[in-house]
Amino acid sequence: MIAHKPHRSFHVDVDAVRSCTSTSTPNFTTDSPLVKTGSTDELLRQLFFSTPSPLLNAYCDGLLRQLPNPNHIISLMTFYSSRGKYVDLITMTASREIDTTKGTQLFRGNGAFIKLYSAMTALEGSKIKKATTLALVDYMKEAELDKKLAGTPEEVKSVCESLFDIFVTLISKHYNELSDCHKVVLRTIYLEVYSKLGEQQAKNGFYTLLFLRFLFIPFLQYPPVLKFFQSAVVQCQNPNLDKNNRIYQLKFAIDNIVDKVVSSPYSIYTSSINLKLQEKSLTQMCDVIKAEMKVIAKIYDGDFGVVFQAVKSKKEGSINIDFASQELRCWRENKIENAIRLNLDLKAEIEKVVRLNEQLKVKIGKVKSLI
């Protein structure tokens, strides 16, 4: 049995990231050391949580690429999240998209990752969206600026520029409304893109995920505003953007957010474990696989007989209580370790600030002595 370990931290080691995104695919057979006999839950854990995971890939390609059944997304997310693998699901599918996307259109398609990311932001992103984009939409309506969007090109441009300036202020002020889970996902993805495609592509991907795929969604009902803001984000991706350009205000704000996300302390978020949901999510997952077996089996890379046997043998009470209890203990211990690590990180940051202040005092003293 492969022991399950909850997501321990969101620091990404470049070598570890590269090893986790290897394109080699294991051939699952009943004799494979990767898949041992056990309960349905244990077998599906091994199949879904291996890296790479042919079952996750087949599930995503077969059920989530086109217009998916919402139940397919919910079942997958619940299976992972109830076992402490919520962040892993999002970042694993992102990693695959990074490896398979050609050109500069990173995260611009509508594949499995974007659908899962959108579902995550719907659950995790209400605070920052309410404090920024939705607040701006409310202001537009109250000031009746939305009516001016039907005016002359000059009037439309004036309205959009005014809204843009307000948005820059809002996003700079309310960055901390971004959930810890969302920060972990953005941080992990940014560092992986950085390690594979470089800093500029990493920033471009960050812009796309935070703005085009999340915060700008409410602007869909106001096409002129959406077009202006999308154009602004594209211009922000220019490393040589003129500092006198008003768009530079947004670029400066985004760069600050990127720095804060990437340098955020270890362990600000740990995916939770929900023992009550594990049995329910296992039943849901088995039902989905049974119903969509032909679709999944057709594109599954490996011995699908292992998956078939695991799902077929599903019985009530398939969750191994001893295993689940051990997993919960590990999760609690991990959470305590993370809290200790976070305190140490914060203490180190405070000590760093104190040292900088002392250095500044010395320099100021030297300057005063020369006056």
| Residue 254 and residue 130 share a domain | yes
Question: Do 49 and 66 have their domain in common?
Answer: yes
Contact 30, 306 (CB under 8 A): yes
Please count the structural domains in the chain: 2
Nearest to 296 by CA among 74, 48, 43: 48
- Give the pair of three-digit tokens for residue 177: 């409304």
Tokens of 326: 């051990």
| E strand or H helix that includes residue 299 | helix 293-299
Residues 256 and 280 in one domain: no
Q: Is 83 helix (H, G, I), strand (E, B) or coil?
A: strand
Residue 9: inside a domain:
no
Answer yes or no: do 23 and 43 share one domain. Answer: yes
Do both 143 and 66 map to the same domain?
no
Q: Do residues 44 and 96 share a domain?
A: yes
Range of the domain at 140: 125-262
- Per-residue pLDDT at 110: 84
Backbone dihedral region of 302: left (phi > 0), alpha (psi from -120 to 50 degrees) or beta?
left
Angle between helix axes 153-173 and 133-142 (nearest 10 degrees) is 140
Q: Which helix (H) or strand (E) holds 180?
A: helix 180-197
Nearest alpha-carbon partner for 96 in 72, 78, 79, 114: 114
Q: 260 and 28 in contact (C-beta within 8 Å)? A: no
- Whether 161 is in a domain gets the answer yes
Confidence (pLDDT) at 136: 96
Strand residue runs (E) in the chain:
none
Residue 254 CA to residue 175 CA, distance in Å, equals 10
| 279 part of a folded domain | yes
- Geometric angle at alpha carbon 105, from 102 and 110, rounded to 5°: 100
Distance, first Cα to last Cα, the chain: 73
Residue type, 56: L
Compute φ and ψ for 83, nearest 5 degrees: -110, 20
Task: For helices 247-262 and 180-197, give the axis angle rounded to 10 degrees.
Answer: 100
**What are the Cα distances from residue 308, in Å, to 55, 73, 116, 280?**
11, 21, 25, 19
Predicted local confidence at residue 29, as pLDDT? 36
Q: Does residue 2 fall inside a structural domain?
A: no
The answer to whether position 368 is within a domain reads no
Residues 222 and 279 both lie in one domain: no
What pLDDT sits at residue 282?
93
Both 275 and 249 in one domain: the answer is no
pLDDT computed for residue 2 by the predictor: 33
Prediction pTM value = 0.76
Identify whether 143 is part of a domain: yes
Is 39 contained in some domain?
Answer: yes
Look at residue 164 in the predicted model and tell me its pLDDT.
Answer: 94
**Burial environment of residue 11 by CB neighbours within 10 A (0 to 12, 13 to 18, 19 or more):** middle
pLDDT-flagged residues of the chain (< 70):
1-38, 103-104, 265-268, 314-349, 353
Residue 247's alpha-carbon distances to 101, 172, 230, 231, 348, in angstroms, are: 28, 14, 11, 9, 35
What is the predicted pLDDT for the residue at 322?
59
DSSP character string of 42-63: HHHHHHHHSSS-HHHHHHIIII
Among residues 63, 51, 59, the alpha carbon closest in space to that of 26 is found at: 51
* Residues 228 and 288 grouped into a single domain: no
Residues 130 and 250 in one domain: yes
- Does residue 358 fall inside a structural domain? no
Looking at the structure, tell me whether residues 48 and 149 fall in a common domain: no
Question: Are both 186 and 280 inside the same structural domain?
Answer: no
